[in-house]
């Protein structure tokens, strides 16, 4: 019986190169546009050609979803793995989209057991992933703009930095009202007190203290034209930050609602001391996905989360190095969980303390604790059983230490 054909798709933003492999021979090559007509033609051609398995260099997106919907088995292969495999199929060190499509098709034929088969996630998980990743991107944009605003103020008016965060709503409102020292000349304790009351200031400093901080800062020597330019720059950055800050707040609210409706929410909820915590557990659920076969062992989950080192052994050299190839979002979520629990969870506190006692710095100790938590996370996730300190881990043995 003839083996089923495989295909490789070299993905691109505007067009995709496709190669169909039949027992190592490129039986068919073609290119399709990244539009509805092109994607529909691609799935139809692959089905007619008897293709059962497709390899592609990305794990998500419209094209992947359409291939899965067509009933094809889809393998997600990292670009670094494709790069490492090229010399197997060519002597010259060339690269082209057509050649990469052939390499992908051959990997799908000969090395399918080495790569993850994609399984569609539920609508709830996809929604949570879209919300958490969008929020992450917006937070990155907010941090970049906030750094620019802080640098702008430090260059001519550091006295305006009277609040803890330059991108907080009250700080942005203050800078919109007083973008330059000239705009704040008539500001006294009573007017500032009214401003603080209107914006529900929750800090511990009085209006007099805030004014003293503003006036004790070094004063710049800007000319009239530069002052106007600086004023425009500050107002521009404030105008860019305000909607981003508001949208992040709205996305956080939506994430909280989506998390509450997700069937896996109860699994990790006991790991967080504050019941209102949403971003970290939502990211964990979104990045792990629904397919339990994705991580057949706790070691696989630890590697993908960047919580286990990479071993390098050659001759007498035997070292463990930081794992860079991993799901960065999952790593951040596990590290956030570890850093949080070391403050209140007796078992986590002990694991972290022992790691520091062995000479590990803080980031390394957090990864050690994260690796320990992975064992618990994986068990809860696989069994679909909420975390219970009496059942998972060595919490019971450490109860006397935590008292």
Question: Could you tell me the two tokens for 37?
Answer: 């007509």
Q: What's the confidence (pLDDT) of residue 157?
A: 94
Degrees to nearest 5, angle at CA 97 with 94 and 102: 85
How many Å apart are CA 286 and CA 125, to the nearest integer? 6
pLDDT of residue 91: 65
**Cβ-based neighbours of 12, under 8 Å, separated by 6 or more:** 34, 97
For the chain, the domains span: 5-117, 125-258, 268-402
- Alpha-carbon distance 324 to 344, whole Å? 29
Contact criterion met (CB below 8 Å) for 179 and 234: yes
Residues β-bridged to residue 320:
311
Check residue 4 and give its pLDDT: 82
* pTM passes above 0.75: yes
pLDDT at 403: 29
Question: Residue 401: what pLDDT?
Answer: 37
β-pair type (73-76, 51-56): parallel
- Please identify which residue in the block is written with the tokens 């969870």: 345
Q: What is the 3-state secondary structure (H, E, C) of the chain?
A: CCCCEEEEEECCCCEEEEEEEECCEEEEEEEEECCHHHHHHHHHHHHHCCEEEEEECCCCCHHHHHHHHCCCEEEECCHHHHHHHHHHCCCCCCCCHHHHHHHHHHHHHHCHHHCEECCCCCHHHHHHHHHHHHHHHHHHHHHHHHHHHHHHHHHHCHHHCCCCCCCCHHHHHHHHHCCCHHHHCCCCHHHHHHHHHHCCCCCCCCHHHHHHHHHHCCCCCCCHHHHHHHHHHHHHHHHHHHHHHHHHHHHHHHHHHHHHHCCCHHHHHHHCCCCCCCHHHHHHHHHHCCCHHHCCCHHHHHHHCCCCCEEEEECCEEEEECCCCCCHHHHHHHHHHHHHHCCCCHHHHHHHHHHHHCCCCHHHHHHHHHHHHHHHHHHHHHHCCCCCCCCCCCHHHHHHHHC
- Best CATH choice for the domain 125-258 from the list 3.30.2020, 1.10.1740, 1.10.287, 3.30.410: 1.10.287
Q: Would you state the CATH architecture of domain 5-117?
A: 2-Layer Sandwich (3.30)
List Cα–Cα distances, 74 to 25, 255, 326, 341, in angstroms: 20, 29, 20, 38
Task: Render pLDDT for 211-262 as a digit per residue (tens, 0 to 9).
Answer: 999 999 998 888 999 999 999 999 999 999 999 999 999 999 999 999 999 9
Contact 282, 132 (CB under 8 A): yes
Extract the residue ranges of the chain whose pLDDT is less than 70.
Answer: 1-3, 91-94, 392-403
């Amino acid at each position: 019986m003839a083996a089923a054909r495989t295909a490789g798709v070299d993905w691109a933003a505007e067009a995709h190169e496709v190669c169909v492999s039949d027992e190592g021979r490129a039986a068919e090559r073609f290119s399709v546009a990244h539009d509805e007509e092109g994607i529909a033609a691609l799935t139809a051609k692959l089905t007619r050609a008897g293709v059962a398995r497709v390899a592609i260099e990305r794990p998500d997106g419209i094209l992947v979803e359409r291939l899965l919907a067509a009933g094809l088995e889809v393998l997600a292969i990292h670009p670094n793995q494709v790069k490492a495999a090229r010399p197997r199929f060519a002597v010259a060190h060339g690269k082209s989209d057509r050649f990469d499509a052939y390499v992908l098709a051959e990997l799908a034929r000969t090395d399918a057991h080495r790569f993850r088969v994609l399984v569609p996630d539920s609508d709830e998980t996809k929604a949570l992933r879209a919300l958490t990743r969008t929020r992450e991107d917006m937070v990155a944009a907010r941090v970049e703009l906030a750094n620019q605003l802080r640098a702008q103020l430090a260059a001519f008016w550091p006295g305006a930095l009277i609040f803890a965060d330059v991108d907080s709503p009250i700080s942005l409102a203050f800078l919109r009202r007083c973008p330059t020292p000239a705009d704040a000349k008539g500001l006294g304790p009573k007017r500032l007190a009214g401003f603080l009351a209107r914006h529900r200031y929750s800090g511990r400093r009085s209006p007099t203290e805030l004014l003293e901080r503003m006036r004790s800062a070094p004063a710049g020597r800007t000319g009239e034209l530069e002052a106007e330019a600086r004023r425009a720059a500050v107002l521009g950055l404030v105008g860019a930050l305000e909607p981003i800050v508001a949208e992040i707040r709205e996305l956080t609210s939506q994430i909280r609602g989506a998390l509450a409706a997700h069937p896996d929410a109860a699994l990790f909820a006991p790991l967080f001391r504050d019941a209102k915590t949403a971003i970290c557990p939502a990211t964990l659920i979104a990045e792990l996905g629904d397919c339990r076969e994705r991580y057949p062992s706790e070691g696989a989950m630890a590697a993908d989360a960047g919580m286990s080192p990479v071993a390098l052994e050659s001759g007498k050299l035997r070292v463990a190095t930081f794992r860079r190839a991993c799901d960065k979002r999952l790593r951040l979520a596990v590290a956030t969980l570890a850093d949080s629990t070391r403050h209140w969870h007796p078992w986590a506190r002990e694991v972290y303390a022992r790691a520091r006692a062995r000479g590990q710095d803080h980031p390394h100790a957090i990864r050690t604790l994260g690796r320990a938590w992975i064992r618990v996370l994986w068990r809860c996730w696989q069994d679909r059983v909420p975390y219970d300190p009496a059942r998972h881990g060595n919490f019971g043995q450490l109860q006397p230490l935590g008292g």
